[in-house]
Amino acid sequence: MTENGKSSHEWERKHPGWLPLTGFLNAVDPFFEKVLFLPGYEFSSNVYVVEGTYLSIVDPGNDYTAFIELCARGHMPADVKKIVVTHGHRDHAMGVFDLLRSYPAIVENGGFELILHEASPRELKDMVRKSGCRVTEVRGGETLDISGLDWEVIHTPGHTIDGICLYHSSSKTVFSGDTVLPHAMVEPDEHAGGRLDHYLFGVRALLGKDIENVLPGHGFPVVSSGRKVIEETYEGLMMKFIGVEATAKTPWIEGATALAQRGCLEEAVYCCARELVLDPENRRALRLQSSCLSDLGRFHEALVTLDKLEKAHLQEKGDLFALTGRGYALMGLGRYRDSVCFFDEAIRICPGAKDALVYKGMALYLAGDYDEAMEIDHFRTEFVGRFKEELQRKKG
């Protein structure tokens, strides 16, 4: 039985079969004219075919009828020259074996190239190699030619260790496997190397791309609002990471604070930004965001955030946090002399301010004023301590 209570045979009779994305999605980009989509059901993922001078399959699924129907559309098995598996779960990968077992013409005509992450199941790779087909292992960052189109490989571990997505920049489209699904979020599979923190960082990598269209491993493709789907997954993972239930309405600033405490600075910055959309003058969010940005080395952005604090009159005159933060950001930009002025002001207000003293010593040292830097007790202690640690580390 299927989830909606209908028998498998009933569902198969009503299954729409292969759908051209251009008609199904009412999309105008020429890219979609080259892609066929077979919705997944039962224990099979969605299957995608990219047409060109040869056929490329993205996730061959676990449904032997997929290829019968593909042949019925006029394509020959020997047309399949490349297969990409987004991760090694059976519902995405078993179709590889169906093709090899049921269509000997594929191997007789030179076989296909299987493309998957280097950490994918060894059994899958060995079986394909034994059949005479080629196996290409990727790590992320490569550019693949898929039926005449260039796709960037993005390593997105988390659900499994071997998860990859394929990104087509000119159409702003991604094959997302199980990494991003509309209206759903998969669990990390620990038996396949899945980890929640890896999942979070993998989805963050997708947010760094200009994505409008998501072609997922399950559920229907998403056109135009793909970034929103990725953000929803990212936000759900963040809340899960800090132990917040999906149904709980946690303020963004609380999420940001918890994430920063766990060292997830990029995620903390994201949550602060979401909080500031709701409350642009939230002092706590601006302060936390500026700190995280500086710690990430994003010093220009940190200064912009500190400017917002000042313009909104959200910091007191002589605010130690703002003075030290501005000095630290300027030091990060190589403006050592300018940074010393802010550290000096912080020290004038609070002579024992350790951070300001240490950072002043760093700025002076980096500016070449070694003797003056070493006159600062807090910096000298910190400097000697770190020097000893480095020597001990090198000695092993």
CATH of the domain at 129: 3.60.15.10
307 and 229 share a domain?
no
**Domain presence at residue 271:** no
**184 shares a domain with 321:** no
Answer yes or no: do 70 and 140 share one domain.
Answer: yes
Residue with tokens 């002076």: 364
- Measure the CA angle with vertex 236, ends 233 and 238; round to 5°: 110
Domain boundary among 241, 264, 290: 241
pLDDT at 15: 67
Q: Are residues 287 and 236 in the same domain?
A: no
Q: How far is CA 148 from CA 28, 114, 126, 390, in A?
A: 19, 16, 27, 51
Tell me whether residue 252 is in a domain: no
pLDDT of 333-392, one tens digit each? 999 999 999 999 999 999 999 999 999 999 999 999 999 999 999 999 888 777 657 656
Q: Which of 77, 158, 152, 67 is nearest to 115 (CA)?
A: 152
Spatial CA neighbour of 87 closest among 45, 52, 33, 43: 45
DSSP three-state, residue 109: coil
**Is residue 18 a part of any domain in this protein?**
yes
In a domain, 60, yes or no: yes
Rounded Cα distance between 229 and 207, Å, is: 10
- Residue 209: inside a domain, yes or no? yes
Residue 391 has a pLDDT of 53
Does 62 share its domain with 204? Answer: yes
In this structure, the answer to whether residues 325 and 389 fall within a common structural domain is yes
The pLDDT score that the predictor gives to residue 1 is 28
* pLDDT < 50: residue spans in the chain: 1-13
DSSP states of 337-350: HHHHHHHHHHHHH-
Residues 281 and 236 in one domain: no
CATH number at residue 346: 1.25.40.10
| Residue 310 located in a structural domain | yes
Phi, psi of 289 (to 5 degrees): -60, -45
pTM: 0.87
Q: Which domain holds residue 347?
A: 277-395
Note the pLDDT of residue 2: 34
Helix (H) or strand (E) holding 195, with range, is: none
Asked if residue 115 belongs to a domain, the reply is yes
Beta bridge partners of 135: 114
Q: At 162, is the secondary structure helix, strand, or coil?
A: coil
pLDDT of residue 55: 97
Q: What is the pLDDT of residue 14?
A: 60
Instruction: State residue 149's pLDDT score.
Output: 94
Number of domains into which the chain is organized:
2
Beta strands in the chain (DSSP E): 19-20, 35-38, 47-50, 55-58, 80-84, 113-117, 134-138, 143-146, 149-155, 164-168, 173-177, 213-216
Residue 132 counted as domain residue: yes
